[in-house]
């Protein structure tokens, strides 16, 4: 059992590379925000309050087209629905005695990567670990967006293209290391790649929006994996 203090510093340390990756990704988000007409302060708060790459892109598109607010709500619900699932999963990694206010703070920043390090922390994940990780990621994500609004247009297009690969590099870095230990995960990841790519080509499924397709595929593939290869108790711990 580690102390609260050492858990906090561990979180800071694990958050740092995520924060650097966030900075690169949110910089390209800031360029989009600029094109939509947002200023740097609006870009800062957009990222500070939302902490979501796909969700923020969807929101910027809604701002650009002046979509009705009802449509915005639906769009964000769909774009961020995976965080609902991640929040359910993370609830199982916290101590059952953890008070509600800690849960409400942890819930604020359930992102793909922070969820990834939160669920892979040995059970139970302490709040101090998550707060440490928040401290090195949230400011980077917000600052990157603001800077993208201010300085985005000085970069050549090819550099912006390259920067947009950063988020996928981060996704891969969350899922691949555990797959080295558990070959079933490696197989699952490769199947997911294949099915997702195939689904984007099928006439029926490719007609769905990107975020809806992600939700459907996530639930179907995960449920199939859970049925075909239910985990043993020790794997979940």
Partner 1 sequence: MNTSPWTYILVMAAVSYAIRVLPVTLIRRQIKNRFVRSLFYYLPYVTLSVMTVPAIFSIAEDPACGAVGLVAAILTAWFTRNLFLSACGACLAVLAAALLL
Count of residues of this chain found to bind partner 1 when the rule CB under 8 A is applied: 102
Cα angle 47, 51, 79; round to 5: 110
Tell me which DSSP letter residue 126 carries.
P
Query: What is residue 202's DSSP assignment?
Result: S
Residues 60-79 that bind partner 1 (CB under 8 A): 62-63, 66, 69, 72-73, 76-77
Which of the stretches 3-11, 45-53, 145-153 binds partner 1 when contact is defined by CB under 8 A? Answer: 45-53
Question: 29-41 burial by CB neighbour count: b if 16+ within 10 A, else e?
Answer: bbbbbbebebebe
Decide if residue 29 touches partner 1 (CB under 8 A): no
4-36 and 112-120 helices, crossing angle to 10°: 160
For residues 112 and 21, is the Cβ–Cβ distance under 8 A? no
By the rule CB under 8 A, 172 interacts with partner 1: yes
Q: Which residues between 95 and 124 bind partner 1 (CB under 8 A)?
A: 96, 100, 103-104, 106-108, 110, 112-113, 115-116, 119
Q: Tell me which of 7, 10, 12, 24 binds partner 1, using CB under 8 A.
A: 24
Quick one: which of 3, 1, 23, 4 has its CA closest to 131? 4
Binding mask 79-98 for partner 1 (x = CB under 8 A): -xxxxxxxxxxxxx-x-x--
57 binds partner 1 (CB under 8 A): no
Closer to partner 1 by Cβ: residue 5 or 235: 235
Q: Which two tokens stand for residue 217?
A: 């595929």
- Select the span of 4-12, 139-147, 224-232 touching partner 1 (CB under 8 A): 224-232
Nearest approach, Cβ of residue 7 and partner 1 (Å) = 18
Peptide bond into 83 cis (omega under 30): no
């Amino acid at each position: 059992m580690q102390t609260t203090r050492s858990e906090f510093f561990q979180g800071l340390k694990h958050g740092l590379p995520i924060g650097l990756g966030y900075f690169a990704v949110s910089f390209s988000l800031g360029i989009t925000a600029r094109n939509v007409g947002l200023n740097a302060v609006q870009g800062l708060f957009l990222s500070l309050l939302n902490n979501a790459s796909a969700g923020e892109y969807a929101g910027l598109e809604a701002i650009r087209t002046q979509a009705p607010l009802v449509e915005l709500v639906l769009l964000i619900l769909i774009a961020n629905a995976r965080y609902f699932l991640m929040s359910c999963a993370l609830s199982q990694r916290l101590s059952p005695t953890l008070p509600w206010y800690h849960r409400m703070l942890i819930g604020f920043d359930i992102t793909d990567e922070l969820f990834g390090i939160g669920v892979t922390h040995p059970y139970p994940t302490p709040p101090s670990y998550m707060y440490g990780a928040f401290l090195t990621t949230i400011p980077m994500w917000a600052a990157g967006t603001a800077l993208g609004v201010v300085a985005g247009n000085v970069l050549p297009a090819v550099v912006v293209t390259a920067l947009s690969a950063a988020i996928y590099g981060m996704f891969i870095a969350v899922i691949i290391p555990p797959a080295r230990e558990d070959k079933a995960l490696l197989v699952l990841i490769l199947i997911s790649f294949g099915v997702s790519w195939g689904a984007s080509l099928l006439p029926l499924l490719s007609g769905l929006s990107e975020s809806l397709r992600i939700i459907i595929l996530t639930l179907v593939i995960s449920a199939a994996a859970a049925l075909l290869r239910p985990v043993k108790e020790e794997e979940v711990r």
